[in-house]
A and B are shown apart, each in its own frame.
Chain A
Amino acid sequence: QVQLQESGPGLVKPLETLSLTCTVSGGSISGGSYFWTWVRQPAGKGLEWIGRIYTGGSTNYNPSLKSRVTISTDTSKNQFSLRLNSVTAADTAVYYCARCRSNNDFASFDYWGQGSLVTVSS
C-alpha cells in the first residue's frame, strides 16, 4: 500500500520560501510511470493544482505560480519536494502531495497525503 506523508514548517514569514517534503512509502518514486504532484487548499476555498514532476524528471507547473515554484525529487530518500518563493498571506493553505497516474490511466490521483497546514505570517 502506497502512503504519502507531507512534512515541513507550519509557519513561514512573508517573502520567505515555503519548503515541504513528501515522503513516499510502499513504492519507489523512480519506478513506474507516475507524476508526483502538489495540490493546495486555502481555508474555505477549493483545491488548486500547483505542479508535478514525472518519474523521468520533467516538470509542469501551474502558470499562476510558475515563476515561484520548484518541484524536485530525492530518489535516495524516496521523497519529492516543493519550494515556493516569496510567499504572501495568499499562500496560506493546506498543502497536499499526491501520486498522479499516467495519461494512459487518465491521470487520476490515486494516493494522497493527509495534508500539511502552512501559515504565512510574520
Chain B
Amino acid sequence: DIQMTQSPSSLSASVGDRVTITCRASDTVSRYLHWYQHKPGIAPKLLVSAVSTLESGVPSRFSGSGSGTDFTLTINGLQPEDFATYYCQQTYSALCTFGQGTKVEI
C-alpha cells in the first residue's frame, strides 16, 4: 500500500492567513494526487485534482503543487468558510489511500 502522511494534523489560523498543508507519499504517485475539503455532516468536496487542477467553482485562493512524493495544498487568505478538515488522496495504485487529515481551526 502507498501510505499518505499529512502534516500538520491540525492547525490554528485566522481569517486572512496563508495556510500550507503538506502531504508525503511513501512511493511515487505521479499526478494521481488530489485534495478534498470535509465539513461535518456534509459530503466531502474535491478541491484540487491531479496535483494542481482547481475544480470548477473552487475559489482561486486554493492551490496545489508538488511532484513525485511531496505535495502541498495552499490557501491564500483564509476565509471563514474554509475552516474544515482537508485530506490528500492518491489514486496511483489500485488501492487508493488517504492522508489522515488536517483540521484547520480558528
Residues of A at the B interface (CB closer than 8 Å) are: 4, 46-49, 60, 62-63, 96, 98, 100-101, 105-115
Query: A101 to B43, alpha carbons, bound, how many Å?
Result: 17
A60 near B41 (CB under 8 angstroms)?
no
Docked Cα-Cα span, A60 to B100, in Å, equals 23
CA distance A61 to B89 in the complex (A): 17
Partner of B46, one of A48, A62, A108, A114: A108
Residues of B within 8 A of A (CB): 31-32, 34, 36, 41-46, 49-50, 55, 87, 89, 91, 94-101
Q: Which residues in B have their C-beta under 8 angstroms from that of A49?
A: 95-98
Cross-chain contact B46 with A110 (CB below 8 angstroms): yes
Beta-carbon contact of B43 and A108 below 8 Å: no
- A115–B31 Cα distance when bound, in Å, is 27
State whether A109 touches B32 (Cβ < 8 A). no
Nearest-neighbour CB distance to chain B for A17, whole angstroms, equals 23
| Cα(A21)–Cα(B45), bound, Å | 20
Question: Knowing A46-B101, A106-B49 touch, does A60 contact B34 (C-beta < 8 A)?
Answer: no
CB-based A-B contact count at 8 angstroms: 58
Does the CB pair A96–B101 fall under 8 Å?
no
Task: Provide the residues of chain B in CB contact with A100, threshold 8 Å.
Answer: 91
Q: Are A108 and B50 in contact (CB under 8 A)?
A: yes
Question: B87 — which chain A residues lie within 8 A by C-beta?
Answer: 46-47
Tell me whether B94 and A60 are in contact (CB under 8 A).
Answer: yes
With known contacts A46-B101, A47-B87, A105-B49, A112–B44 Cβ distance under 8 A: yes
Question: A residues within 8 A CB of B32?
Answer: 106-107
- Are A109 and B46 interface neighbours, CB within 8 A? yes
Are B41 and A108 closer than 8 Å at their CB atoms? no
How far apart sit A49 and B92, CA to CA, in the bound complex (Å)? 13
Chain A residues whose C-beta falls within 8 Å of the C-beta of B94 in the assembled complex: 60
> Using Cβ atoms and an 8 Å threshold, which residues of chain B touch A47?
87, 89, 98, 101
Q: Assess the A46–B95 pair: CB atoms within 8 A.
A: no
Contact of A62 (CB < 8 Å), options: B31, B36, B95, B98: B95
Nearest CB of A to B10, in Å: 13
